[in-house]
Amino acid sequence: MKVWGRFYRSDNGNYAMRIAIVNDSIMAVECLKRILVTTDRHQVAWVARDGSEAVMRCTSDKPDLILMDLVMPVMDGVEATRQIMQKSPCAILIVTASVDGRSSKVFQAIRAGAMDVVRTPSFDINANGKEAMKLLKKIDTIERLIAMEETVTRPPASATSNKAKDKEGVLVVIGSSTGGPQALATVLSSFPESFPASVIVVQHVDAQFAPSLASWLDSRTSLPVHTIKEGDRPIPGSIQIACTNDHLIMTPERTFAYSRKPMGNVFRPSVDVFFESVARNWKGKGIGVLLTGMGRDGAKGLLALRERGWHTISQDRDSSVIYGMPKAAAELNAAVRVLPLSNIGAALLQRIAFKDVA
């Protein structure tokens, strides 16, 4: 089931995003409206003055994107995001007056399913101002991600590589996006302290919130959770997380590095970029996992791992907050198994315990 709204055809025949604004400040609403109407690619679908109203409006008129404030009466942006993603999922961009001052609440909203965060533009800034342009850039990125939901291209098949493995151990690589933090917590919390594999996570999250994600996951799993620095290597019995806005890659020496390229990739860090570098350079055994997320990032990378002889798993439709990335993997036949979120941790444990790893 496709959960995103359909773009609206404007008077000039172009398609435009239907964008809802949720904010209790009249001044902020007017500022956002003014910025949105500077281009015919955006249409204001509706305005809600608090989170509760937004939840109700979404059930009857789901927009393509919601610009969600954090601090509001009746119901704040965190709880509104949580309920919308449960009842009528759509893309949500947090727009708040202070990103740094509300980092805890911002991260709660991201855990609940928000895609990104941007500072509310000042009312006295014109549409060409720095803050307004940053907002429009974020919206443009989300628009491109929504468009990607509709187009999945199967890459040409390639021959499965030699499955001979050395003694580097087992590597578990996990990619996730929208709804990913909670999905990651569900999978990782099932691992015991004796879990022998190295676990590497690439989650679409801004660098400023990566340490908060690592700390939050560390409190929900028996394994230590670390952010990855340049030059680090996989650590058996631990969870390591990409933590910059550049792409995490594995080098031929099996160390980790960050790369700005490919520059045009809207996903930063990209699951595809990381998975494909692992497929090229890791000589040991491995399992690849692709969880909930918007777009198709990770599908081609998961296929590259499968073609290298890895066991690959993707999350199923019903348990995904957004069935975009796992759907793309299914269409490419990249996943050996498609499982409900609640079964993925157990499946990993079983394969590793019985040494049933490609």
Q: Which residues are designated catalytic?
A: 177, 204, 297
CA nearest to 91, candidates 219, 3, 186, 221:
3
DSSP state of 323: B
> Cβ distance 177 to 325 under 8 Å?
yes
Burial of 266 (0-12, 13-18, 19+ CB in 10 A): middle
DSSP 293: B
CA gap 155, 159 in Å, rounded:
13
- Cα–Cα separations (whole angstroms), residue 212 to 81, 122, 256, 333, 357: 19, 27, 21, 34, 32
Would you say 239 and 199 are in contact if contact means Cβ atoms under 8 Å apart? yes
Q: What's the CA angle centered on 342, arms 341 and 343, to 5 degrees?
A: 90
DSSP string, 132-146: HHHHHHHHHHHHHHH
- Which residues 6+ apart lie within 8 Å of 277 measured at CB? 249, 250, 251
